[in-house]
C-alpha cells in the first residue's frame, strides 16, 4: 500500500515536471536534492562547487525528464545524471590525471589492528583525502556500482587502469584507517596514563 502510494506520488511529480510545472520541479528538487548533494560532495571537495554540480544536474534532469521511461528506479536515473555531471565538472575544472605515485599507496596494513568502530562520516572524510584519481574510481566502483568497463569509458582510461586505481585507493584507505587507529590507541594510552 505504502509503495503504491509512493509510486503514484512519484508519477504525479514526473507528470508535473514533464509539463514544466514549477511547483512539481520544486517538489522533485526538495525530495531528491539532499541525497544528490551528498553524492556531489563525494566527487567534488568544495561545498560551493558541489552546489554548482547539483544545480547543473537538476537542470539536466528537468531538461531530459522525457527520457525517463519508467524502467528502473527514478532515483537511480537521477543519480547517474549527477555522477555524470560531477565527472564533467571534474574534467573541465581539474586536471583529472590518474595518480601514479606508488609511494603514497605503498603500505602494508595489519588488518588485526584496524578498528571495528568506523562511522560512515569518518569513511566519507577519508575518501575525500584520497588523491583525485583514486577518489573518483573508488566512488564510481565501490559506492556507485559502476563496472570497470563503464569507469574506463567515463574517464577515458583503460579497464586495467581503473582496476589499478581502485586497488591503490583501497590500500591508501587502509593506510588512513591504520593511522587513525594508531592515533586512537595513543590517545587511549595517554588518557589511561593521566588517570
Q: Are 128 and 167 in contact (CB under 8 A)?
A: no
CATH architecture of 102-194: Orthogonal Bundle (1.10)
- Please state whether the predicted TM-score (pTM) of the whole model is above 0.75: no
How far apart CA 195 and CA 191 sit, in angstroms, is: 6
User: What is residue 34's predicted lDDT score, i.e. its pLDDT?
Assistant: 93
Enumerate residue ranges in the chain where pLDDT < 50.
Answer: 3, 97-117
SS3 191: helix
Neighbours of 94 (CB within 10 A): 13
Kindly report the CATH number that applies to the domain delimited by 2-93.
1.10.1740.10
SS3 25: helix
User: What is residue 192's predicted lDDT score, i.e. its pLDDT?
Assistant: 61
Supply the DSSP string of 88-157, one letter for each residue: HHHHHHS--PPP--HHHH-----GGGS-S---HHHHHHHHHHS-HHHHHHHIIIIIT---HHHHHHHHT-
Break the chain into its structural domains and give their ranges.
2-93, 102-194
Amino acid at each position: 500500500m505504502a509503495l503504491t502510494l509512493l509510486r503514484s506520488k512519484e508519477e504525479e511529480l514526473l507528470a508535473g515536471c514533464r509539463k514544466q510545472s514549477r511547483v512539481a520541479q520544486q517538489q522533485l528538487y526538495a525530495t531528491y536534492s539532499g541525497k544528490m548533494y551528498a553524492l556531489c560532495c563525494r566527487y567534488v571537495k568544495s561545498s560551493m562547487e558541489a552546489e554548482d554540480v547539483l544545480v547543473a544536474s537538476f537542470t539536466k534532469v528537468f531538461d531530459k525528464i522525457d527520457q525517463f521511461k519508467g524502467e528502473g528506479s527514478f532515483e537511480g536515473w537521477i543519480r547517474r545524471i549527477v555522477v555524470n555531471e560531477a565527472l564533467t565538472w571534474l574534467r573541465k575544472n581539474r586536471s583529472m590525471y590518474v595518480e601514479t605515485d606508488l609511494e603514497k599507496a605503498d603500505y602494508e596494513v595489519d588488518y588485526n589492528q584496524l578498528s571495528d568502530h568506523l562511522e560512515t562520516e569518518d569513511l566519507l572524510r577519508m575518501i575525500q583525502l584520497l588523491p583525485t584519481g583514486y577518489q573518483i574510481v573508488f566512488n564510481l566502483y565501490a559506492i556507485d556500482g559502476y563496472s570497470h568497463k563503464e569507469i574506463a569509458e567515463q574517464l577515458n582510461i583503460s579497464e586495467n587502469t581503473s582496476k589499478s586505481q581502485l586497488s591503490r585507493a583501497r590500500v591508501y584507505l587502509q593506510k588512513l584507517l591504520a593511522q587513525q587507529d594508531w592515533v586512537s590507541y595513543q590517545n587511549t594510552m595517554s588518557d589511561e596514563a593521566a588517570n
